Amino acid sequence: MFCKLKPFWILHPKCGDRATCTCKLHANVEFKFQRLRQHGVLKSQSLRKAISSLCCKEVQKCMHRKCSICAERKLEINGFEEGKQVYVYEWRNRQEQRLIKGKIHNVQITTKEKVFGTLETILDERNKLLKTKFCKHVFNIVHQHCAIKRLKEDITEKECLTHIDFSEIYACKIEIEVQGMPFGASRNQVSLHTGVMYYKEEKPESFCSISKNTRHDPAGIWAHLHPVISEIKEKYPLVNTLHFLSDGPTTQYRSKNNFYLMKQKCLTQYGFKTVTWNFSESCHGKSAPDGVGGLVKRTADKQVAYGKDIVSPHDLFTNLKELGLDVKIFLIDDELIIENDGELNKVTTKPVKGTMSLHQIICFNIKVRYLSCFCTKAQTCDCYEPRIVTVSVTEETAVPEHTIPVTPCIPHTYLIMKAFSHIQHRLQVSIYVIRNK
């Protein structure tokens, strides 16, 4: 009877509606908070109120637990039964051995496990997470969002903000497929790099670059960015300051090779005056580019449903272009990736100490910050504890001394020039590292 009379807006839950890509640290703290609340241990009604009760103010010094007044504060608790055994769920990473193609391989898996303990141990673990990681994590999330919001509001006609991210690999499809199509390497894959460009007093412009090469490393990143930056230079010649915003995986955007290519490409090749690269806090990078990727893939699937076959990146590019989407579509040539590989092979870049904690790279020299700051347009402020280090970039074209080839009957001038071409050069690049000590 209930099913017959239920209102039309009440629907059965769908598997696709569940929460995915949630923050592991947030989830683990929330599990502990809810269990302690269930047993009446905590006085705070919500996690947000619990954080506020720990700090004098929601500023960096307090939220990073370095304030002399509130650093040792603990959550207010009610009386509870000591030694009572309870369980709490927790997301954990662990190594596991699996047989793959006849060989034993160590693989890392993420599992949701049931952990048993007393109320005291759960409370202690939660207090430790709040003090060492969680409060700092929450502050960084809010700060980065506020800094980027301020940049968008105060952006000038000489600046452009480009928000980018790699979308999930798109699998090509055919309207009618035979039985063996899903197996082996029959189905081609397409890499999608999506983003949104923000200008002063202009409508934001969405874009998507398409490539058959599924590499997401710095060489691939700058191949995807080449047509985007060329578009900016052509359409907005006054722009001399470029801001990038992305998430921060260390194999992609937040890596030493990406820092190097950012300086080489943007300052030397494209001629920008200043470039910044800003990173969202870990596990909190979902935003506009993901919406662009979803639009592109849904549109492609709809084309397949209406009888179009998409079997290659070129087919996808052609179909999207014909539809006239309000998204700029670019097709990436593998030659650009090969060129970037060649440029990186000439040098050896040293990693920047504390890379995982950095949230802003400023490149007129190379300057890095613990958190993003746009309080001055010249990016010369000393916010967030600056310190200077030096990173060497060494050309790898050198050969050891005494191994320079010498050919008889060649003029001495040629031999001298040949020798100089094999000498190892060192380029000292000053890097200002601004991070939390």
Q: What would the mean pLDDT of 163-181 be, rounded to a whole number?
A: 92
pLDDT of residue 132: 87
The CB density around residue 361, as the number of other CB atoms within 10 Å, is 25
pLDDT of residue 387: 58
Per-residue pLDDT at 45 exceeds 50? yes
What Å distances lie between residue 229 and 161, 235, 275, 283, CA to CA?
A: 11, 10, 12, 27
Q: What would the mean pLDDT of 379-408 be, rounded to a whole number?
A: 50
Instruction: Find tokens 């007129």 and name the residue.
Output: 364
Per-residue pLDDT at 416 exceeds 70? no
Q: What would the mean pLDDT of 16-26 be, rounded to a whole number?
A: 88
What pTM did the predictor assign? Answer: 0.84
Q: What would the mean pLDDT of 96-101 be, rounded to a whole number?
A: 89
Contacts of 404 (CB under 8 A, 6+ apart): 418, 419, 422
CA distance 336 to 48: 47
Q: Give me the phi and psi of 314, to 5 degrees please.
A: -65, -40
Q: Calculate ∠ Cα 134-19-172, nearest 5°.
A: 120
How much of the chain exceeds pLDDT 70, in percent? 86
CA distance 161 to 91: 35
Query: For residues 89 and 113, is the Cβ–Cβ distance under 8 A?
Result: yes
Query: For residues 159 and 239, is the Cβ–Cβ distance under 8 A?
Result: yes
HEC profile of the chain: CHHHHCCCCCCCCCHHHCCCCCCHHHHHHHHHHHHHHHCCCECCCCHHHHHHHHCCCCCHHHHCCCCCCCCCCCCCECCCCCCCEEEEEEEEEEEEEEEECCEEEEEEEEEEEEEEEEHHHHHHHHHHHHHHHHHHHHHHHHHHHHHHHHHHHHCCCCEEEEEEEECCCEECECCCCCCCCCCCCCCCEEEEEEEEEECCCCCCEEEEEEECCCCCCHHHHHHHHHHHHHHHHHHCCCCCEEEEEECCCCCCCCCHHHHHHHHHHHHHHCCCCEEEEEECCCCCCCCHHHHHHHHHHHHHHHHHHCCCCECCHHHHHHHHHHHCCCEEEEECCHHHHHHHHHHHHCEEECCCCCHHHCCEEEECCEEEECCCCCCCCCCCCCCCCEEEEEEEEEECCCCCCCCCCCCCCCCHHHHHHHHHHCCCCEEEEEEEEECCC
Q: What would the mean pLDDT of 164-193 be, rounded to a whole number?
A: 91
Q: What would the mean pLDDT of 156-170 be, rounded to a whole number?
A: 95
Per-residue pLDDT at 431 exceeds 60? no
| 129-141 residues labelled b (16+ CB within 10 A) or e (exposed) | bbbeebbbbbbbb
Tokens found for residue 120:
């005291």
Task: Assign 73 a pLDDT band (cuts: 50, 70, 90).
Answer: confident
Tokens found for residue 97:
């051995």
Per-residue pLDDT at 400 exceeds 60? no
How confident is the model over 35-44, as pLDDT tens digits? 999 998 988 8
> 65-74, 100-109, 387-396, 405-414: which has the minimum mean pLDDT?
405-414
Per-residue pLDDT at 392 exceeds 70? no
How confident is the model over 325-353, as pLDDT tens digits? 999 999 999 999 999 999 999 888 888 88
The CB density around residue 323, as the number of other CB atoms within 10 Å, is 13
Q: What would the mean pLDDT of 120-138 be, rounded to a whole number?
A: 90
Question: For residue 202, which of 224, 231, 165 has the smallest C-alpha distance?
Answer: 231
pLDDT of residue 418: 35
